[in-house]
Amino acid sequence: MAVVSVNNLSKDYANLRAVDNISFTIEEGEIFGLIGPNGAGKTTTLRIMATILTPTSGDIKIFGYDLKSEGQKIREIVSYLPEEAGAYKNLTGLDYLNFMASLYANNKSEKDKFVENAIDIAKLEDRIKDKISTYSKGMVRKLLLSRSLMYKPKLAILDEPTSGLDVINSIEIRKIIKSFTQNGTTVLLSSHNMLEVEFLSDRIALINKGKILVEGKPDDLKKEYNARNIEEVFIGAIQ
């Protein structure tokens, strides 16, 4: 069942049409990847879906809620991990999680549960008690991802969750994301890395210059374009 549907979405910044009439749907429990080069319109699309930007036109439904008229409901069930997100460096990882949990929890036991979830997800062991300023890039990303997932959102919107990470950290982040869909979270992520995403996404849409070129399962797309990988699919699709 489709739990997210985007219909004819466009977004203009002054004279630039950053997102140009795109449509896609996401099934419950799926990892859906919006894949494309820099400037393609991925972040703009994700920020609209996280209710941070308003669309120029188009309709979006997320778990039955209409983005335009029910933004508050959507904010309650969606979490968003921004691209290039930073964490408060002077806090410890644990302080940060406690702080973020307190913003969303309705009571102390819920807050404690959120923090417990995040600790399980981040797997930073004792380092969770150290200042974030001492963390590696991979550790910061795990902390931020654990923050996005600790509320068990119905939809997690993750902008470039593995970008800039080494292969070990990328694999760990991919594992975290995959395991989370088993907890009932649906995932929308973006990536400019076309080679890694087929291991992470159940279905992808390739986006270029604000337009979706093709959409489907990575294996089906490779067959359709007689391609060895998604980069080759992309090259085939822009021609």
List the interface residues with ligand ADP, window 15-74 (CB under 6 A).
16, 18, 36, 38-44
List the interface residues with Mg ion, window 55-114 (CB under 5 A).
83
Locate 56 and state its tokens: 């120029």
Q: Which is nearer to Mg ion, 34 or 121 (CB)?
A: 34
Cα separation of 96 and 100, whole Å? 6
Contact 202, 213 (CB under 8 A): no
Nearest to 126 by CA among 134, 150, 22, 18: 134
| Backbone φ and ψ of 204, nearest 5° | -135, 155
Does position 117 interact with ligand ADP (CB under 6 A)? The reply is no
CB of 47 to ligand ADP, least distance (A): 8
For the window 5-44, what string marks contact with Mg ion as x by the rule CB under 5 A?
-------------------------------------xx-
Residue 44 contact among Mg ion, ligand ADP, none, beta carbon within 5 to 8 Å by kind: ligand ADP
- Number of H helices and E strands in the chain, helices first, is 8, 10
Does position 45 interact with Mg ion (CB under 5 A)? The reply is no
Site residues, ligand ADP (CB under 6 A): 13, 16, 18, 36, 38-44
Site residues, Mg ion (CB under 5 A): 42-43, 83
